[in-house]
Amino acid sequence: MPRRKPAAAPRHGRFPRRVGEYTLESYLLHVADPEGSGPIVPSIPVAATYRAADSAHLAGLFGSILGADPAAARAVPEGAHAIYQRLGNPVEWLLARAFALAQGGESAIVFSDGMRAISACLSSRSHAGSEVVCGVPVYGCTDNLFTGALPRDGRTVHFVDLRDLAAAARLFNRRTRVVYCETLANPNLRMVDLAALKRLLVQENSKRHEEEKITLIIDNTFATPFCCWPHDCGPELREMIVVHSATKGISGFATGLAGVAVIPWKFWMQLFLHRKDTGGSLPAVEAHSLLVRSMKTLALRIRRQVGSAWQVARFLESHAAVAQVLYPGLRSFEEHALARRQLVDWDGNFSPGHMISFILKGRGPEEAEARGRAFLDRLNAASRVITLAVSLGYVGTLIEEPSSGTHASMPDAERRAKGIPRGLLRLSVGLEEPQDLIRDLERALARRG
């Protein structure tokens, strides 16, 4: 694959977001174009291993990775990612560059799925004996990671509502290494003031040696890189990672799993070596699909999905059978003012995402839950365009009940304590005509069980 000139990083805080003289949106359509005459998309490198020119060449490739000065990560040649597939391949290298540009970060590493990206970042930024502070709620499997595997591996985990930053700060001690949160929490869309959190961590880290600094890990899956750039919120925090399940809105087509961590160069080598030694690289076929389909259509898809979600949220809020709608675009949303500052798309517009959560009315939580389940079953039986399924960000609309789906593995009481009420339903709005979605929702709501 021909070597391409590295793109200039997008300029923060300016709209539309640009890469050099092009808008980011146009640039991503061509980020992987091979140079010269020939195919207009890169080919898929299927080989598990690569032939070296001679032993000095192979030694040189390994030498450029192993034992390299972490500060030299930026200079790791593309060729070093063509040794063996677990180390990487040229297509995932291009994809990582596209992710970094799309999310406004310095560099990125791609993974086989979102949980691999999250667990690799947590493992590489903390160690046995260290402490982690996790905002609530988070995706069910992430919550399980924090209550299960991490404590088993010797980390102490504190859960806290990060809307109360003073409470979070009281948990910090010399062993604290990571603060973790989601930009739009799964499933109740709760938001954390990222600028204030980053200010707190900049201040805290200014008192610490490099190896004791706290890393902020933010899962931006619900918002997608199109609706939120954590790097743009508040001061620069050098110790920040933005992770995604790229299986969701980034992919859009639900044809495979992927994850990504957008990281500063200073973390790159450590995370890259972690993936080399523990596995979890992204198969080339997946990377290719994300690069030539998903990244090219990300802005187009999400812009439309957000517009439709807004209409659907307003409809749900106006319906007599609905008790509460959680959507950052609604004035009734608790963190609406924060959402207006934090959820800003590549054009500079307020972009409150494509995820909506809501609860039906009932005399008490049990009835609301029973009505919610009956509604889901009616919808699933009658609607061609709204599908009962976990996952999100798909081009088709998906609906699920977190307590029996994505968050089923959490004990009931813990779910409620972390802000996930009984009967909560979660809707991921797709590309359908919003009127079709509203009609099907209305029909299923009308026959209350």
Ligand X SMILES: Cc1ncc(COP(=O)(O)O)c(C=O)c1O
d(CA 370, CA 423): 7
Least distance in angstroms from the C-beta of 244 to ligand X: 7
Least distance in angstroms from the C-beta of 395 to ligand X: 16
d(CA 198, CA 214): 11
Other Cβ atoms within 10 Å of 214 Cβ, number = 22
Tokens of 70: 């972490």
CB of 115 or CB of 122, closer to ligand X? 115
Residue with tokens 């905002």: 135
Tokens of 260: 């990504």
SS3 track for 159-200 = EECCCCHHHHHHHCCCCEEEEEEECCCCCCCCCCCHHHHHHH
Least distance in angstroms from the C-beta of 190 to ligand X: 12
Does 186 contact ligand X by CB under 6 A?
A: yes
Per-residue string for binding with ligand X, 61-100, x by CB under 6 A? Answer: ----------------------------------------
Residue of minimal Cβ distance to ligand X: 114
Other Cβ atoms within 10 Å of 235 Cβ, number = 10
Q: How many residues sit in the footprint of ligand X (CB under 6 A)?
A: 15
CB of 29 or CB of 254, closer to ligand X? 254
Least distance in angstroms from the C-beta of 287 to ligand X: 14
Does 113 contact ligand X by CB under 6 A?
A: yes
DSSP-assigned beta bridge partners for residue 161 = none
What is the DSSP code string of 365-387? HHHHHHHHHHHHHHHHHH-SSEE
Least distance in angstroms from the C-beta of 222 to ligand X: 6
Would you say 392 and 428 are in contact if contact means Cβ atoms under 8 Å apart? yes
Per-residue string for binding with ligand X, 126-165, x by CB under 6 A? Answer: -------------x--x-----------------------
Q: Work out which of 131, 193, 219, 239 binds ligand X, going by CB under 6 A.
A: 219
CB of 256 or CB of 365, closer to ligand X? 256
Per-residue string for binding with ligand X, 220-259, x by CB under 6 A? Answer: -xx----------------------x-x---------x-x
Tokens of 205: 């880290």
Q: Using omega within 30 degrees of 0 as the cis cutoff, is the peptide bond preceding 6 cis? A: no
| DSSP β-ladder status, 425-428 and 322-326 | unpaired
CB of 133 or CB of 355, closer to ligand X? 355
- List contacts with ligand X (CB under 6 A): 113-115, 139, 142, 182, 186, 219, 221-222, 245, 247, 257, 259, 406
